[in-house]
Amino acid sequence: MSLRSLINLRILLSVILILMLGGAIAIWQARQSVERELQSSFHLVLQMVKSEVGQADMSRGNDDWLQSIKALRHLRHVQVSLIDEHDTVTEILTVSEREESRRPPTWFMVAVTTDYLEAEYPLKMPDGSVQRIKISADPSDEISEAWSESQTYFWSVVLMMGVIFLAINMVFHSMLRAVGTILSGLRQVESGEYNGKLPSIKIREFDAIAAEINNLSEALSHARQNNQSLARHTLHIQESERRHLSRELHDEMGQSLTAVKAMAVASKHSDADVPGIADSIIGICNHLSGVVRSMMRTLHPLSLADLGLGATLTDLVGEYRRRHPGLVVMLDYDDSLELLSHEVAIHVYRIVQECLTNVIRHARADSVEVTVMRSRFDDDQVVINIEDNGIGGQAEGEGFGVRAMRERVENLGGCFSFESETDQGVSVKASMPFIEKQQDESRQD
């Protein structure tokens, strides 16, 4: 069932319940009103009849009392009859008959009719006979008035409910139209169309939702652009690394192997300086070993699995110190991090490596502090803090290196912050979950 149908059904049921309750109350009030009106008229006529008859001189045939009773014809709800000794009825006061079309329905008359009030008063006539004056209440006229008032009340309620129903439907029509607009925007987001913007909506709450969806679309569009840029940058780095490895293999390995081969051929001559040639070959092999270790460190730090995170970071810091003697690199490492899983440890290593690389390329710093430890406030977190005293400066947006670090940290469910101010250096802080090595991972180590 649609929301509109559900709302209309509930409104209809509410209207029916209100009408039934209102009808029951109206009938109860009509019944009370009829009862009060009849009792008032009946007792008034009864007292007047007693008073007039008691004061009349019946022995002289005075009928003034009869004229006084007839003067009460304006009382609509009481009948007065004179009954002789032969039970012949003579009407003194009668209730006028109402038109059949204006009579209330039978069920209403049954619902509001109370017990009929009747009384008889004896009257001694001049001829010695005794007649009776019968007084009875007739509620038909009062019931007709109650029925007319109930009809007015009923149709007033129906009209009011109709107006309320129309107003509610107009409001919900506007709301459902806003919901349709929001659903259309969500479908666009679901299909990957982030450039479409939802229009402003008159209803404040729905307008706030539309604004949030627009912000979400903008954020997703920005994230997709960043991912595309990062993917292109990753492919670029891969190609650059491949070219670098190819050049290293060609320039270093190829030339060195050619030189070794030439020296080996030269050593066959009888007058060759074999010790000198051997020393040269040893030097070339040592150089190739350094090149291979550098290439392997670039591709993947094998010492991370063999020696642990602490030794690998120490070796990385030592390599930067050797290559850049003017840069003071200080490492503060928590030995408890040796229990880290390889998945987290490689991210820690790459973040430190990327930060040191950025310091060399951009910071113009002469010192950098690297802190890697377990959080003092939460043992389940690994905290990385790297600060330099370089030129700093607020860059426009984050570079690919910073984005890559942020992606590494956030993919593990951690937090990453990059702060840079002019002449205040750069501060990189990251926290990641502390995930211990599994048993099979420890055996492989």
Domain boundary assignment for the chain = 3-168, 193-299, 305-444
What is the per-residue pLDDT for 10? Answer: 83
What is the per-residue pLDDT for 355? Answer: 92
Specify whether the CB–CB gap between 314 and 352 falls below 8 A.
no
pLDDT tens over the chain, length 445 residues = 676 778 778 888 888 888 888 888 888 888 888 788 777 777 777 777 777 666 665 555 556 666 666 666 666 667 777 777 777 777 776 655 544 446 778 887 788 777 667 777 777 776 667 778 787 777 777 777 788 888 888 888 888 888 888 888 888 888 888 888 888 888 888 888 888 788 888 888 888 888 888 888 888 888 888 777 777 777 776 777 777 777 777 777 788 888 888 888 888 887 778 888 888 888 888 888 877 777 776 666 766 777 888 988 998 898 889 888 889 999 999 988 888 888 899 899 989 998 998 898 888 899 999 999 998 887 789 999 999 998 887 655 567 788 888 888 988 889 999 988 888 889 999 999 998 877 445 445 5
Specify whether the CB–CB gap between 430 and 414 falls below 8 A.
yes
Instruction: Write down the CATH number for the domain with range 305-444.
Output: 3.30.565.10
What is the per-residue pLDDT for 96? Answer: 55
Beta partners for residue 135, in sequence order: 80, 119
Report the alpha-carbon distance of residue 97 to residue 91 in Å, rounded.
14
What is the per-residue pLDDT for 245? Answer: 75
What is the per-residue pLDDT for 122? Answer: 77
DSSP 8-state secondary structure symbol assigned to residue 111: H
Distances from the Cα of 16 to the Cαs of 28, 105, 120, 160, 162, in angstroms? 18, 21, 47, 13, 12
Distances from the Cα of 370 to the Cαs of 41, 427, 433, in angstroms? 105, 10, 19
Specify whether the CB–CB gap between 165 and 176 falls below 8 A.
no
Specify whether the CB–CB gap between 70 and 92 falls below 8 A.
yes
Helix (H) or strand (E) segment spanning residue 407? helix 400-411
Specify whether the CB–CB gap between 27 and 111 falls below 8 A.
yes
Report the alpha-carbon distance of residue 440 to residue 357 in Å, rounded.
34
Report the alpha-carbon distance of residue 190 to residue 185 in Å, rounded.
9
What is the per-residue pLDDT for 382? Answer: 93
Strands (E) located in 272-406? 328-333, 367-374, 381-388
Q: Answer yes or no: pTM beyond 0.85.
A: no
- Residue 334 — φ and ψ, nearest 5°? -95, 120
* Angle 394-396-399 from CA coordinates, rounded to 5°: 100
- Longest Cα–Cα distance in the chain: 186
Contacts of 209 (CB under 8 A, 6+ apart): 182
